[in-house]
C-alpha cells in the first residue's frame, strides 16, 4: 500500500477525533449502562475501553520514544510493510466482526471498572493526536517500533499508528453496538 503521508495522517487523526467524540458521550452514561454485558463472556463498554487503555499503555510510550529518537527526515509518501499492512488491515472493523483471541493480560473481562476508564481513554486519544502531529517531522517508514507481543518484531511507525488506531476503531464500534443494544431494550 502506497499513500500520501499527509493524507494517511489526516485520516488517522479523523478516526481518533471521532473516537474521542464518542467516548465523551459515555461520560453522561450511568455505571450500569457502561458495565452492561449481553452475556457472561462478552465485554461491557468499559471493558472495551480498558482493553484499549492497556494497549495504549504500551504503544503510546513506545511511539513517543521512537519519534523523539528518530533522525530520519520526513517523506511525502508512505509505503506499508507486508507484516504491518496485514496487522493493520486485520484490525479494521468488518460488517461481520471476526472474533480474535486477546492476550490474557490485555483481557479486562470481569474487572471492576468505573468512568475513570473513559477519562484514561480520552487522555490516551489526545496523546495519540499529539503523536500524529509530531510524526509529520520524521520518516514514518524508517522509524520503527516494537510491538506488544514481541520485541523481536518491529513495524514501520505508520503501520503501528494504523494498527493502534484501527484497533481502537474496532473496539469503539463494539462499544457502540453494546450501547445500541441497551437502547433497543428500553
Q: Which three cell numbers stand for residue 8?
A: 494517511
- Give tens-digit pLDDT for 1-50: 788 999 999 999 999 999 999 999 999 999 999 999 888 888 999 999 99
Instruction: Please report, in angstroms and rounded to a whole number, the separation of the first and last CA atoms in the chain.
Output: 44
Q: What is the pLDDT of residue 157?
A: 96
Expressed as residue numbers, the domain containing 69 is 2-181
d(C-alpha 86, C-alpha 134), whole Å: 25
The number of distinct structural domains making up the chain is 1
d(C-alpha 24, C-alpha 54), whole Å: 19
Q: What is the pLDDT of residue 153?
A: 81
d(C-alpha 2, C-alpha 103), whole Å: 31
- Give tens-digit pLDDT for 139-183: 999 999 998 877 778 999 999 999 999 999 999 999 999 998 887
pLDDT band at residue 101, thresholds of 50, 70 and 90?
A: low
Is this structure's pTM higher than 0.85? yes
Selected residue with higher pLDDT from 68 and 152: 68
What residue has cell string 453522561? 28
Q: What is the pLDDT of residue 112?
A: 86
Q: What is the pLDDT of residue 53?
A: 97
Which region holds residue 110: left if phi is over 0, alpha if psi is between -120 and 50, else beta? left
In a domain, 186, yes or no: no
Q: What is the pLDDT of residue 99?
A: 64
In a domain, 104, yes or no: yes
**Residue 120 predicted with pLDDT over 70:** yes
The CATH number for 14's domain is 1.20.120.450
**Residue 119 predicted with pLDDT over 90:** yes
Amino acid at each position: 500500500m502506497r499513500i500520501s503521508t499527509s493524507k494517511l495522517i489526516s485520516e488517522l487523526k479523523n478516526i481518533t477525533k471521532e473516537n474521542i467524540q464518542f467516548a465523551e458521550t459515555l461520560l453522561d452514561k450511568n455505571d450500569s449502562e457502561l458495565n452492561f454485558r449481553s452475556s457472561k463472556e462478552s465485554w461491557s463498554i468499559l471493558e472495551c475501553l480498558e482493553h484499549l487503555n492497556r494497549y495504549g499503555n504500551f504503544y503510546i510510550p513506545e511511539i513517543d520514544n521512537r519519534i523523539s529518537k528518530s533522525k530520519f527526515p520526513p517523506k511525502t509518501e508512505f509505503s506499508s510493510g507486508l507484516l504491518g499492512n496485514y496487522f493493520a488491515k486485520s484490525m479494521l472493523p468488518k460488517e461481520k466482526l471476526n472474533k480474535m483471541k486477546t492476550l490474557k493480560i490485555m483481557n479486562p473481562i470481569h474487572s471492576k471498572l468505573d468512568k475513570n476508564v473513559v477519562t484514561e481513554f480520552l487522555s490516551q486519544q489526545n496523546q495519540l493526536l499529539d503523536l500524529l502531529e509530531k510524526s509529520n517531522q520524521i520518516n514514518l517508514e524508517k522509524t520503527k517500533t516494537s510491538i506488544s507481543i514481541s520485541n523481536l518484531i518491529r513495524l514501520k511507525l505508520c503501520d503501528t499508528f494504523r494498527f493502534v488506531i484501527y484497533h481502537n476503531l474496532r473496539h469503539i464500534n463494539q462499544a457502540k453496538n453494546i450501547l445500541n443494544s441497551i437502547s433497543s431494550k428500553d
